[in-house]
Amino acid sequence: MTRIEALDIAINALAVSEDNAEAVEKLTALKAQIAKKRTTGKPSKKQLESAELKNKIHEVLAAADEPMTATAIGDAIGSKFQQVSGLIRNMEGVTKTYTEKGKAVYSLAE
């Protein structure tokens, strides 16, 4: 349940009685404030960096002849293993498989 959904429930519950008009008004204003914060159209600096790294990861995987580990991908793009691992899990079109030794390797979906 999101905060906006929780506020909707609270507003509906309080709206039954006229004694709660002030609370309903304040909760409605809070709901509008939260909704406004959620719809900022400008991506953050971190989001822009992540998008750039995802593009680099995609390029490396496209050029690779065989599946690669997150460490190898990180070395190829000059990034840390942890950052690559986190980003690659959220990328569409990337498949994760395991080697016989149990290492996770990544490749582009065909």
For residue 40, name the pLDDT band (cuts at 50, 70, 90): low
Residue 38: pLDDT band (50, 70, 90) is low
CB hemisphere CA count around 14 (13 angstroms):
16
State percent of the chain over pLDDT 90. 35
Q: Do 98 and 64 have their domain in common?
A: yes
More confident residue, 63 or 15: 63
| 104 in the same domain as 51 | yes
103/83 same-domain check: yes
| pTM strictly above 0.75 | no
Report the pLDDT value the prediction gives residue 109, as an integer from 0 to 100. 84
Q: Looking at the structure, do residues 49 and 87 belong to the same domain, yes or no? A: yes
For the chain, how far is it from start to end, CA to CA, in angstroms?
36
**Domain co-membership, 90 together with 56:** yes
Instruction: Say whether pLDDT at 37 is over 80.
Output: no
Q: Convert the pLDDT of each residue in 57-101 to its tens digit.
A: 999 999 999 999 999 999 999 999 899 999 998 888 888 888 888
Identify the domain containing residue 30 by its residue range: 3-38
DSSP label at 93? T
